[in-house]
Every structure is written in structure tokens, then in C-alpha cells.
Structure 1
Amino acid sequence: MTNYVINSKPVVSIIIPMYNVEKYIDKCICSVLNQTYQNFEVICVDDGCSDNTLSYLRDYKDHRINIIRQQNRGLSGARNTGIRNARGVYIALLDADDYWAVDKLEKHIAHLNRNPQVDVSYCPSLFVDDDNKQLGIGQFPKLNNIDAKTIFCRNPVGNGSAPVIRASALEKVAFHDDTRSWRQYFDENLRQSEDIEMWLRLALYTQATFAGIPEPLTYYRVNASGLSANLQKQYQSWETAVNKHRRSHAQFFRQCGSLARAYQLRYLSRRAVQSRNTSAALKLIHQALFTDIRILFEEPGRTALTWCCALTSLLPKSLYDRAEKLAMRTVGQSNKHPAG
């Protein structure tokens, strides 16, 4: 581990929202404290935990860990509290059930320092299960030449534990609304799809620059209950989030709206496949193709893969798992786009 002189003002503020994550918090915090880059503060926001999360967290005696307690306001509300209290030049988001590779911060800070025009630095993510076992699949996004259409259609950031963001970029899109007195960054009216809404807001209103680094440095936890959650509700939440900006960017939505919906439906089809919901998977991929056939021409490999995986999910689980991992590795490495 590289030794750094810790200044009174940290370079990076790591924001960790927490809600009943006693099972995961040790893995998460250890992945932060073991970083090769050490000039950071950790802001852990207790969003109304009712389990032993705080007891586990208080076992860590590192002075850089700050705990803020609040009544439950959801993921966006916890992140916003953390961001408002952050002192760093960069904001690194980490959900409490995920964790990082030891050199994640070092590589992102180097990336941002080398490229002052970049506002959001992100990386590929590897999927793990409840026991931290890698599933052999992940998100391998496009890394460069990211525009608002790419954000809308493909969400290259991928998940909320992947990005490291310039604090100044977040300040440009901060807002107040009529129902809350505090400054918001992530929209607290959204309980799902808050990430894509934020990235789209940054891209559309500030022309923020997004760029990725090739190494997979984030471990994103996937569990059966999350995969099998109401897919229609997830789709509706996505529509609600992105439609916030339809009126102010009508031409953009006319050009990209149906294509973005098709990609979102294809992503949800993949979620259905992973939870072995074959009927939903087939329905969603067909709906995606009928919504905008361009997904078949823009990404023929991944679109065909999703349809084939929906069919092969009828196989015994052991055979299906082996086929999916092989296919995802092959197509993921050749296309370099997020799984979905």
C-alpha cells in the first residue's frame, strides 16, 4: 500500500448509504480502508437502520470514517446527505452491499488528474453473489466518446458503485424543490432509477464528460430477490425518471426515446433470464424488438444473445449457467458494452 500524507481536507469523499446491511458492511468497509490510495474520508449515512449495521461499523477505529444518522429517506436521500457533508474534490459512490478492488481509487484519481476535462470516471463491474463468489459475468461498458444518447440508451456507468465524480460537476446540477428545504443532487422523489436520471441530467444540462477505464474495479452484488423484483415496476420507474427531461429536450427524446426504451426492455429481459423467469424474458425481448428494431442492427450479438438465453433458460440450471457464462464472456469482450 502506498503511503500518503493525509491533509486536513481529503481529496476523495466516499459516500456509503446504509440501510440494514449488517451482512455486507464489513466487506464494503474493508475494501475502502485497504485502498492503495489513502487520501480520503468515508461518509457512512445510516438511513434508518434497524439491524446491527452500526454496531459492526463502530468496531472500525479509523478517524476518517464519519457516521451520519437520519430517518429513512431512501438511497437518493442518503447519498444527498453524504454529498452535502463531503469535503473532497472528488465524490466516490459506494453502495454498502458492493465492494471495490484495492486499487480502484488510485486508478480513478490518476484518470481524472490526467484528463481534467473528464467529470465522471467509471469502470467495468464484476457480478458477485451473496457469498462474494464471482458469477463469471458483469458489466463491460463503452469507455470513450460517451454522449447523451449513449447515457440514455446504454447507461455505461452501469451501477452506483462504479463512478468517481468531480464534486464541481454535481454542484452544477444540484436543485431545490417545493417539498424539501435541503439541497438535492440525486432526486429524492425517485426510489428506483435515480442513477440514470442523474447521469442523463449531467449529460443534457451541463454536457458533462463521461469516460471509463478498462479494468473491472467494482464488485456489484446480485442476489435472487433483486433479480426477481417486479420487472414492470422497474420499467415504470425508469420511464418516470427519464421522462422528467422530455419537455425540456423534446427533440432529443424524439430521436432517441424509442431506442432507449428498447435497450431498457432488453436489459430487463436479461434480468428475467437470470432469475429463470422464462416467460417474462421472452415477452420483454420481443417487446424490445417491436419497440425499436435498431437494437438488432446496432448490437446484433447482444440482442441475439438475450433472445437465445431466454430460450436456453428452459435447460437444467447447471447447463444453462455454463452456457450463459461462456456466451457473456465471448460477447462481452467483443462488444465492450454493458450486460443487458
Structure 2
Amino acid sequence: MTLVVPAFNAEATLSETLDSLLRQTFSEFELLVVDDGSTDGTAALVERYDDPRIRLIRQENRGLAGARNRGIAEGIGRYIGFCDADDLWRPGKLAAHVAHLRSDKTLGVSFSGSEFIDAQGVSLNLYQRPRLRDISAAHVFCRNPFGNGSTPVFRRAALDEIASFNAALGRMVWFDESFRQSEDIECWLRFMLSTNWTVEGVPGALTLYRVAPGGLSAATQKQFASWERMVEKLTPLSPEFFARHGPAARAYQLRYLARRAVSSGDGRQALALLRQSLATSGRPLWEEPLKSAVTWGAALALRCGAGRSVLAAKGRRESA
């Protein structure tokens, strides 16, 4: 079993992340920390750990996709899990995924839901409770049950089916290193469109996903542009698929960004994204009316000074 932790200037959160991984009840793993050109004390922090399972790999900055690719290339495990350097895993997460993958040889990826935490690691009472079974490429495109890059554990043989040799880089790649955002969904959707492996989730919010205050809201347009580039890149794999599902997926993506803007405290941005979502497709509104209404209500309330608490209260029962 290989755990890959990409780390770039992650000194502030990395020890908490590593501690959560070292506390896993399934303990037979190697933990590869890929220091992706950090200029802070990331490498020194890793070197202070006295655990033979941890290996530090240092490289020039290649971005999140490049760091994950290096970890995959160096890993020797039958299964490969990813955890970003500011996220956390609950103690039973790895055991749940290993048991899941061992139970079904057609299963290529096992993932979980997530709980959102703030910069200090305090719960925001927001949860992603994704669909766990009967997952198609359309589900990944429109609703992305993976949620974030710290939830999935891949079977190595399945992940290798989307590997390719990049002549310009002179090495094998799994994640597309030309993406500095949307690299996760690009990889997951490419996997769904080009392989026949089953994808399933396990119950529970086993990943703690950290939301930096204001970070996403300030970059929503850049993130959305990256998502659009992902669509453009993958469309040749199945033009009919993207023609059929593109408008709904685009609307869902905009609503997702709106909910993240609410959690970042930016009601103005959230409302702008919601209006753009509704103009693109009404499917999120009629397929998930409660969640859409809650998001609109939270964004409006935030503009009046109370929005984040509205979404948090609803988040105890709904996925983010």
C-alpha cells in the first residue's frame, strides 16, 4: 500500500496530515511525501519523523499533478491513496478502502465522503455525502462523487490503465501536469471514459477537507476556466457524451463553486455564480431543489450578514 502526500510550502499543516496518516488502523503502507520545490521548512519537518514507513522525495516544483505523478512512479504498493498536505484522514479510512478493494476484483477505485474543516482544523459542519454505488461517467462529470483529491484509493493496476508516456517530459504520467487546477476531475473523468473498472464509495465522511478562508472565492473564475479547459481536452474521447451532459455539468460546477464561496464568506460571489448556473441549466434546481434552495438562501443571507451559518446548519444533513 502506498500513500502519496504532495507538499508545497506545507509546513503549517503537514505534521497534522502526517500524524493522521500514521494513526491509520491499517498500518502496512509506505508514506511518500513529495516535497514539490518548497522554500519553507517542509523537508526538515518530514526528516524529523522517526518512522520507517515515511520517505521524503524532493523535486523542483511541478505542481500538484507533477507531485502526485512522482509519488505514483516511486510507489510500490498494490493500492495507491492520495492525501493533500493540508487534509486529514480519519483513523479507519485506509482499512475501509483496503477491505473494499479486496472484496471485489472489478473495483478500480474506492472513495469516501468528506467533512469540511477550517484553517485551524475546526469542523465547518459541512459534509460531502456522495453517491456510493452505480457510478457512471455522467455522475463524475456532473456531481463528482470523489469530491476532492484526498478521498480516493486506487488499485494500482486500474490507475496504470490511464498512464501514458509524455515525450516532452520524458517520463510516464497519470495526472496531466499542464493543469494547475482541475487536475483531479480531469484524471477521474478520463479514467471513467477510458476504462471499464467499477468505481464505488464507502460510507462515512472519512476525509477531513481543509477550506482556506477566502482562498477559493478569490480564484473562482480561474478555477472555472480550468474546468472548461478540462472539458475541451476530454471532449474528443466522447463528443456525444459531452454534448449530452455538458450544460448540466457546467451548472452543477457553478453551484459547487457558489457553495464554496459561501463557505469562504463571499455572498456576492456566491450569488453571481448561482445566477450563472441557473442561466446555464435548470437541472440542479429541479433535480436537487432542496440543496439549490439552501445554497440560494445561504448566499442571500450572507449578503445580509448571516449566510454561512445557514449553510452550515443545513450541511449537517446535506452534502456540500
TM range (shorter): over 0.9
| 8 A Cα contact 2:262 2:308, kept in partner | no
| 8 A Cα contact 1:125 1:138, kept in partner | yes
CA displacement 1:207-247 (0-9 Å, x = unmatched): 33211111111111111142323211110001111221112
Amino acid at match of 1:148: A
Query: What residue number does 1:248 align with?
Result: 237
> 2:293 matched to 1:304?
yes
> 2:108 matched to 1:119?
yes
Q: Could you say what secondary structure the match of 1:149 adopts? A: helix
Partner Cα distance (1:116, 1:72) in 2: 36
Partner Cα distance (1:277, 1:179) in 2: 40
Query: What residue number does 2:90 align with?
Result: 101
- Point out where structure 2 has 5 or more consecutive residues left out of the alignment: none
Q: Which moved more, 1:271-280 or 1:191-200?
A: 271-280
Q: Could you say what secondary structure the match of 1:14 adopts? A: strand
Query: What residue number does 1:287 align with?
Result: 276
Q: Could you say what secondary structure the match of 2:84 adopts? A: coil
> 2:198 matched to 1:209?
yes
Equivalences, count: 320
Query: What residue number does 1:165 align with?
Result: 154
Q: Could you say what secondary structure the match of 1:215 adopts? A: strand
Partner Cα distance (2:112, 2:147) in 1: 9
What is the Cα deviation at residue 323 of structure 1?
A: 2.1
| 8 A Cα contact 2:299 2:307, kept in partner | no
What is the Cα deviation at residue 14 of structure 1?
A: 0.2
Query: What residue number does 2:136 align with?
Result: 147
Amino acid at match of 1:16: V
CA displacement 1:231-282 (0-9 Å, x = unmatched): 1111000111122111231100111011100100111111222223222211
Amino acid at match of 2:25: T
Partner Cα distance (1:148, 1:129) in 2: 31
Q: Which residue, out of 103, 106, 126, partners 1:137?
A: 126
Partner Cα distance (1:208, 1:30) in 2: 32
Partner Cα distance (1:180, 1:39) in 2: 32
Q: Which residue, out of 177, 189, 193, partners 2:182?
A: 193
| 8 A Cα contact 2:214 2:265, kept in partner | no
Partner Cα distance (2:133, 2:298) in 1: 28
> 2:60 matched to 1:71?
yes
Query: What residue number does 1:328 align with?
Result: 315
Q: Which residue, out of 244, 252, 255, partners 1:263?
A: 252
> 2:265 matched to 1:276?
yes
Partner Cα distance (1:51, 1:159) in 2: 25
Query: What residue number does 2:9 align with?
Result: 20
What is the Cα deviation at residue 55 of structure 1?
A: 1.3
Q: CA RMSD in A?
A: 1.2
Query: What residue number does 1:233 align with?
Result: 222
| 8 A Cα contact 2:247 2:280, kept in partner | yes
Q: Could you say what secondary structure the match of 1:119 adopts? A: strand
Partner Cα distance (2:121, 2:29) in 1: 25
Q: Could you say what secondary structure the match of 2:200 adopts? A: strand
Show the 5 A alignment for 1:50-69.
50-69=39-58
Q: Which moved more, 1:41-50 or 1:110-119?
A: 110-119
Partner Cα distance (2:312, 2:181) in 1: 28
Q: Could you say what secondary structure the match of 1:51 adopts? A: coil
Partner Cα distance (2:29, 2:137) in 1: 30
Q: Could you say what secondary structure the match of 1:237 adopts? A: helix
| 8 A Cα contact 1:282 1:310, kept in partner | yes
Partner Cα distance (2:136, 2:21) in 1: 30
- Point out where structure 1 has 5 or more consecutive residues left out of the alignment: 1-11, 333-337
What is the Cα deviation at residue 299 of structure 1?
A: 1.0
What is the Cα deviation at residue 70 of structure 1?
A: 0.5
Q: Could you say what secondary structure the match of 2:240 adopts? A: helix
Q: Could you say what secondary structure the match of 2:133 adopts? A: coil
